[in-house]
Amino acid sequence: MTLKRPAAALFLILFAFPLNANADEGTTAGVSVKVASISFVPMKFDLSGNANRLEASFRKAKAGGAQIAVAPEGALDGYVVNEIIAGEVPAERINEVTVPIDGPVIKRFQKLASELELCMVFGLAEKIGEDVFNCAVFIDREGKIRGKYHKMQFAEGYHPSWWYNRLGVKSRAFDTPYGRCGILICNDRWNPMLAKIPVLDGARFLIIPSFGSRSKAQDEAVLSRGKENGVPVVEANVGVTLVVDGGKIAAVDREEEGITFGEITIPPPVAAQPAERDRVEGEFLEQRKESMRQRYERTIKRLKDRSKD
């Protein structure tokens, strides 16, 4: 894997769950934090192999001086829901690559984070009871889980029968050693409300694990989410690693295998606005009902049309 660094002339700078109410929020607010945005193409249905590659990537991120390292959506499972929706593989196969948040796979990365003294974020298919959620988890440099998030907007739409691809229902910021953080996952980045909700909950930086569009339009969407909210953003997309700071794209790379380093400046803490947060979240959830239905119908039509060819 090639390590990518921006030009020296550049000063680069959940459902989300707050899991540590007494975290050291804001202790480093206003200072620069070195981040690493990781890209690699995870193999589908290869939990063990992907976990090994993810560990190797985090070790290289630490060797490059990163304090926070972010890996893509579906880094452990390979993002297999599209194959299931298309009927190419049985839905039950997702159980080969799902993990509980308190299981041995996540504990492995908690131990690694503590060993490396590195905050790390990555995507996984989280198993909760009989359901599976597209999830991202934030583990701090002591190996503690500070927060997790369930993707709240799907490009493919949504159907209530999709136990293997459940929608998240809530987004919240959570405390980290570098201030409060909010997470979005991939398609969430296109919706301004999904960035605004955690910021209204006090988030001072955003992290976006992705496995989707590599277009310049996606860069602009990520940049807009940072500019609209006055916060830095780190995106780790498969084939696009992107750092936004100071309302500008501070670092970007389009190689499938690599690590881009940059710096973000965490703004000072602000008070959460729970009433406004809940209003925006409620508005989003109401709008989502129709948008997910329409997207689902388009997906099914496309699959039927494809089967006729």
Dump pLDDT digits (tens) for 241-257: 999 999 999 999 999 99
The yes-or-no verdict on residue 17 having pLDDT over 60 is no
> 57 CB contacts (<8 Å, ≥6 apart)?
1, 38, 40, 69, 71, 259
Structure tokens at 83: 């194959």
CATH 3.60.110.10 fits 2-308, yes or no: yes
What's the rounded Cα separation, in Å, for the pair 138 and 70? 9
**Mean pLDDT of the chain, nearest integer:** 92
What's the rounded Cα separation, in Å, for the pair 79 and 75? 7
pLDDT given at position 19: 41
The yes-or-no verdict on residue 82 having pLDDT over 70 is yes
Dihedrals phi, psi of 126, to nearest 5 degrees: -90, 130
pTM of the model: 0.91
200-212 confidence digits (pLDDT tens): 999 999 999 999 9
The answer to whether 243 touches 12, Cβ cutoff 8 Å, is: yes
Q: What is the mean pLDDT of residues 125-134?
A: 98
Q: With bands split at pLDDT 50, 70 and 90, how would you rate the model's confidence at 4?
A: very low
The yes-or-no verdict on residue 228 having pLDDT over 50 is yes
Least confident of 29-33, 249-253, 257-261, 303-307: 29-33
